[in-house]
Amino acid sequence: MGKVTGFLEIDRHDRKYEPAGDRVRHFREFLIPMDNREVAQQGSRCMDCGIPYCHNGCPVNNIIPDWNDLAYKEQWRDALEVLHSTNNFPEFTGRVCPAPCEEACTLNIDDSPVTIKTIECTIVDTGWKNGWIEPQVPEIKTDKKIAIVGSGPAGMTCAQQLARVGHEVTLFEKSAKAGGLLRYGIPDFKMEKHLIDRRAEQMAAEGVIFRMNTHIGKDVDCEKLLEDFDAVILTGGSEKGRDLPVPGRKLDGIEFAMDFLPQQNRRVGKEPLGLVKPITAEGKNVVVIGGGDTGSDCIGTSFRQGAVSVTQLEIMPMPPETPNKGTTWPFWPLKYRTSSSQAEGAERDFSVATKEFIGSEGKLEKLRIVRLDKDMKEIPGSEFELDADLVLLAMGFVHPVHEGMLSEMGVGLDERGNVKADTQDYQTAIPKVFAAGDMRRGQSLVVWAIREGRQCARAVDKFLMGKTALPR
């Protein structure tokens, strides 16, 4: 490392947010970028630690110490090359990844990890600013045609990798624009969508054919797809939301988070909503059921739409504020975290379960809730009611949608209801059909989707050509 004593001399500093009172007035990103020189100083904190556990903490195995050192030396273009060698879209992960690499950082033993995520984002943003990121057009074309179904991060990654080695890649997407949940699930205040558009333009220049508004199984027959392409890759995500079947579930005002969030993203992107029922939090008491990232996104969106109040309910107990590093490091610890959206004014309650939705004339008015003990059993006499005009169910996803494409293809499912395929060849029960991302592994992170997209691309290239130079 260029500065082996950097971690002793320089304290950890990270990007700051716009004040909550300002940022809830718009849907733009509100992270305040750091000056490149300051980021370079943060890069100097990366220790010469011998065993860089950040490698294993990162699902795409980013070569973090190398580009930290290059950032410290302000060799930004070289740092970008190292970063792109393992991650196709670091501007996505630099904004929305929870940064398990930082939890695995050796300096995190005393709660001061290197600001890896910020350095990553600065490297790639600097690359775009200076025009260093250009299409990588293959010199030689193969005669192989590949269809990829689903344009989320797994599909985009897979498409880019395969196009760069000369295959003819067609990316099918049922929505109007590429990005999957990156575009329609993650709010713009966390990641603006021009970042996806920019990558899609790059990919189109590299030879990827985009077929938007095309629903496989409806607009294109599955059998026809298998006939026309040498390989088919399924990257359609995990879209079946977990429901809450308690009395009163049919009342008006109870919605899935993934019906609520995409609508707002379409409004920001000036896309028509179509024939769906508009869902908005304006002027309402909102209750979000589910304590994860999706629930947090519902909170931030609700405040920006003008909600009167937002309460988030979590069935699990409140985690400890400080984990026992001796038992958790370098793995992702269970600890109390407050997202930027939660910090905007949401009330949070833990160890609670919804017993009943209450309303009149078909409209939601209240929730009946019960508290749970440490064994997640109901505590007698602990029931209470909470006013609510809108409930958003954000309890995760159970598996991909089975009806339509998957059932018609007969690819086979695992015990969790995901498409059955391993992480070596990514093949389904049909040899020429592959699966990657959330559709294969279940609900997960953007960075895991990128990893699986890269690995699946390598497997497909080897399947078609007998060999491959693509990295795993």
Q: What is the pLDDT of residue 274?
A: 83
Give the residue-averaged pLDDT of 267-283. Answer: 94
Give the residue-averaged pLDDT of 6-31. Answer: 96
Residue 355, CA distances (Å) to 255, 287, 299, 367, 371 in order: 17, 14, 22, 8, 10
For residues 50 and 174, which has the higher predicted lDDT (pLDDT)? 174
Residue 109, CA distances (Å) to 55, 64, 277, 324, 370 in order: 16, 18, 49, 10, 38
Confidence at 2, pLDDT banded by 50, 70, 90: confident
Q: How many alpha carbons lie under 13 Å from residue 160 in its C-beta half-sphere?
A: 27
CA-nearest of 95, 100, 87, 92 to 118 is 95
Residue 1 has pLDDT above 80, yes or no: no
Q: What is the pLDDT of residue 217?
A: 93
Dihedral-angle region of residue 58 (phi above 0 means left; psi in -120 to 50 means alpha; beta otherwise): beta
Confidence at 3, pLDDT banded by 50, 70, 90: confident
| pLDDT per residue as tens digits for the range 80-136 | 999 999 999 999 999 999 999 999 999 999 899 999 999 999 999 999 999 999 999
Q: What is the pLDDT of residue 113?
A: 97
Average pLDDT, the chain: 96
Residue 398 tokens read as: 């159970």
Residue 30 has pLDDT above 80, yes or no: yes
Name all domains of the chain by residue range, CATH numbers in brackets: 6-129 (1.10.1060.10), 145-239+399-465 (3.50.50.60), 243-395 (3.50.50.60)
To 5 degrees, how large is the angle CA 98–CA 103–CA 104? 125
Sheet containing 209-211, strands listed edge to edge, beginning at the edge strand earlier in sequence: 209-211, 168-172, 145-149, 231-234, 433-435
Which amino acid is present at 247?
A: P
Query: What is the helix, strand, coil percentage profile of the chain, to 5?
Result: 35, 15, 50
The rounded percent of the chain whose pLDDT value lies above 70 is 100
| pLDDT per residue as tens digits for the range 353-392 | 999 999 999 999 999 999 999 999 999 999 999 999 999 9
Which amino acid is present at 189?
A: F
Give the residue-averaged pLDDT of 292-318. Answer: 97
Q: Which residues, in sequence order, are bridge partners of residue 359?
A: 364
Which amino acid is present at 50?
A: G
Q: What gap in Å lies between CA 153 and CA 451, rounded to an integer?
A: 9
Residue 48 has pLDDT above 90, yes or no: no
| pLDDT per residue as tens digits for the range 398-413 | 999 999 999 999 999 9
Give the residue-averaged pLDDT of 333-356. Answer: 97
Sign of CA dihedral 35, 40, 43, 45: negative
Cβ-contact 334, 319 below 8 angstroms: yes
Give the residue-averaged pLDDT of 196-222. Answer: 97
Confidence at 77, pLDDT banded by 50, 70, 90: very high
Residue 147 has pLDDT above 80, yes or no: yes
Q: What is the pLDDT of residue 472?
A: 84
